[in-house]
Structure 1
């Protein structure tokens, strides 16, 4: 499990002062990137050294409650499924103990040509050690 904390800024909201729906996807992207960094991986270095990048293949999202300007939020990410070529994560955006948004995100590995490839072995091993 990984936790990434953030604050809602004015730019994240719509005219009603609530977080614009697409920004939750940005929040969980940041959570995924910071989790990978916390595991010791730099995505730029992975691309340069292995030619591997990550792409979102599928997102199943539930919008449960609204976040508002200046709220302190947390993105909580957990590993759901790991295979040689993909990760499935469950990510929740929380305000304290209140769940505002939840998504099941499938990530795949792509090679330099944009085709499917296996996750780099060190990345697979790092996530496998979490389960």
Structure 2
């Protein structure tokens, strides 16, 4: 499992002082990007080299408890499934071990015209390699 820490800033909250619901999607997006980066997947280079990008196809989300200004959150990302053109992950936002938000996210690989395409080999290898240090 990959974990990313995020601090809640005032700009993340609504009038009630709790994290605005759509900002959880931003938090988990950052966590997925950092997860891929730690696996050695450079999304900018992937786009430049092959024209392939990732796009969220589906999100199933549960809002369980509110996060508030200045909370330190941990966003966990776990691979659930990989297919030829999709990645499915479970993500959870936690504060002090308590789950505040959880989601299952399906990400599709697309070409420059927005059509589904196979995941690049570097992504498949990164996601299926045994856990351990990232090769340089």
Q: TM-score range by the shorter chain?
A: over 0.9
Determine the structure 2 residue equivalent to 1:105.
Answer: 105
For residue 21 of structure 2, give the secondary structure of its aligned residue in structure 1: coil
CA distance in 1, matches of 2:21, 2:12: 9
- Cα distance in 1, alignment partners of residues 19 and 93 from structure 2: 12
Query: Considering only aligned residues, what root-mean-square deviation do their CA atoms show, in Å?
Result: 1.0
* Cα offset, 1:112, TM superposition: 1.1
**In the alignment, is residue 84 of structure 1 matched against residue 92 of structure 2?**
no
Deviations 1:57-103 (A, max 9, x none): 00000000000000000110000111111000000000021000000
1:49 Cα deviation from its structure 2 partner: 0.6
Aligned to 1:122: 122
Q: Is the 8 A contact 2:61 2:104 kept in 1?
A: yes
* Corresponding residue SS for 1:77: strand
- The normalised TM-score by structure 2 is 0.94
Q: CA–CA distance in 2 between the matches of 1:130 and 1:65?
A: 34
> CA 1:2 to 1:14, structure 2 compared with 1: closer, same or farther past 3 Å?
same
What's the offset of the Cα at 1:56? 0.3
1:25 & 1:39 partners in 2: Cα distance? 21
SS in 1 for 2:102: strand
Q: Aligned partners of 2:116 and 2:101: how far apart in 1?
A: 29
Correspondence for 1:11: 11
Q: In the aligned structure 2, how far is the partner of 1:41 from the partner of 1:80?
A: 18
Structure 1: runs of 5 or more not aligned: none
Look up the match of 2:33.
33
Q: Structure 1 length as normaliser, TM-score? A: 0.97
User: What is the Cα deviation at residue 130 of structure 1?
Assistant: 4.8
Unaligned runs of 5+ in 2: 132-136
